[in-house]
Amino acid sequence: MRNGRIVLLSDYIGGEGPGSGGAGHAALDSYRALRAAGADVHAIAGFGERPEVEPERFHGLGGADLRGAGTGAMLRAIYNPDAQAAVSRELAGLDTDTTLIVLHQWTRYLSPAALRIASRFPTMIYMHDYFWVCPNGIYYDFTAGKPCDRRPMRRHCLTSDCDRQGRLPKLGRLARHAVRHATTASRPSRRLFLHLSEHAQRTIMPLLPDQRHAVLHNPLSLPEAEPQPAPPPSYDIGYFGRLEADKGVGLLVEALRETGRTGLFVGQGSLEPLLAATPGITHRPWAPREAMAAAMRSCGVVVLPSLWNETWGLIVPEAMAAGVPVLVSSRAGSSELVGRFGGGHIFDPGQPGSLATMLAQMAAEPPSPTRQHAALRRFLSPERHAARILGLAESHFGLTMRDGDQPVRASAPWSISRPA
């Protein structure tokens, strides 16, 4: 067994709001879990604020989020030479056999150019989404309003208008995907795909048949004490996340209209006008993570109505930890928590009327929150998460990670970057 180190690589780490999503939190939580386990870990982020932990171990590339920043930014998203040069500098001199790259997000700044450098090392690819396989990222047809069943990059994929932003962005994503494939053709023995749920692994494994796969649940630190009973709810249901069609927001609004329920929607997205036009719905902008539990506890049930095959869905364990029952789409990976620990129900978004029926049933017979708080806490613990990564590093790459005494190289300054 060889001693190694981990470099966590991501467009961004930490952050608040739908602009960062759960992936930024998951990357930072994973870093903290690995450090607490004694691993030698450094982190590289393309853009964003430096997290308030171990600044000497965080390296900022000083880049910017390329989304929505014009044609030049679209071209850099296909292949960003600045990211390639920056990542090359950061990884220079590191052993390409004993340095393990854990790759999180890469489509917003790093691009395939940076992945070209990272692929020289053994790599774990953390599948927050499906961009490695699918050009539009979530293997979902936005025009048809249902999960995709095409083979990515085959004729039907190339000719379909499935992207949420239209045909021109789809062409850019196709080009990026082709470049990604050409620049990351390392041996399967040097790569391991990490899926956030068994559901996500089942969704994508057939499209990556010659690769290695493992399930790795996102860590979530829960207090030892069980949550106090929630007060009488101010809202019948709560939704927290992106306000977009693929998240099932339109489906949920329709179900509330049918059942006459009230709802609290926290987040941002293109469906904000729909919320404003619907009686009984209160909309709030995204709130800091620490404020979410109180908002969830003001709701009778927290709903995740995803239409796409969502890899996880962080609001489900967060609601369960807050002592609130949940109603989860069977297409969301975190529905597995309900099957394992109770605390709510699962519905099939492909079955017409299933959501409204389940909401009515839950109103008539309110479910209890999970009664297995201790087991849920252990299942999602940072300790279990870190042990899983370290065990996979040993079994798949022959590496044992420990915090060495090597000096930390100077890094580029961190700054809040804006798109050009």
pLDDT tens string 151-197: 999 999 999 999 988 888 899 999 999 999 999 987 889 999 999 99
What single-letter DSSP state applies at residue 10? E
Closest listed residue to residue 296, CA positions, set 265, 271, 272: 265
Residue 352 pLDDT: 93
- What integer pLDDT is reported at residue 67 of this predicted model? 84
Cβ distance 76 to 82 under 8 Å? yes
Cα R_g (the chain), whole angstroms: 21
Q: Which CATH number fits domain 2-219+381-401: 3.40.50.300, 3.40.50.2000, 3.40.50.720, 3.40.47.10?
A: 3.40.50.2000
Cα 321 to chain centroid, rounded: 19
- Amino acid letter at 10? S
Computed from CA positions of residues 301, 302, 308, 309, in that sequence, does the dihedral angle turn out positive or negative?
negative
Question: Measuring CA to CA, which residue among 210, 357, 230, 378 is closest to residue 302?
Answer: 230
Q: Which long-range contacts (CB under 8 A, 24 or more apart) does 377-381 make?
A: 377/222, 377/223, 377/224, 379/217, 379/337, 379/340, 379/341, 380/217, 380/218, 380/219, 380/220, 380/222, 380/317, 381/219, 381/221, 381/222
What DSSP designation does 403 have?
-
Q: Measured on CA atoms in the order 352, 356, 359, 361, is the torsion positive or negative?
A: negative
Contact 32, 382 (CB under 8 A): yes
pTM (whole model) above 0.85: yes
pLDDT value for 22: 76
Structure tokens at 267: 């987040």
Q: How far apart are CA 257 and CA 278, in angstroms?
A: 8
All CATH 3.40.50.2000 domain ranges in the chain, comma separated: 2-219+381-401, 235-374
| CATH code of domain 235-374 | 3.40.50.2000
- pLDDT tens for residues 83-95? 999 999 999 999 9
Helix (H) or strand (E) holding 64: none
Both tokens assigned to 400: 């044992």
Q: What is the mean pLDDT of the chain?
A: 91
What is the structure's pLDDT at 403?
64
Instruction: Extract the residue ranges of the chain whose pLDDT is less than 50.
Output: 18, 405-420
Beta bridge partners of 48: 415
140 SS3 class: strand
SS3 100: strand
327 pairs with which residues across the strands?
303, 345
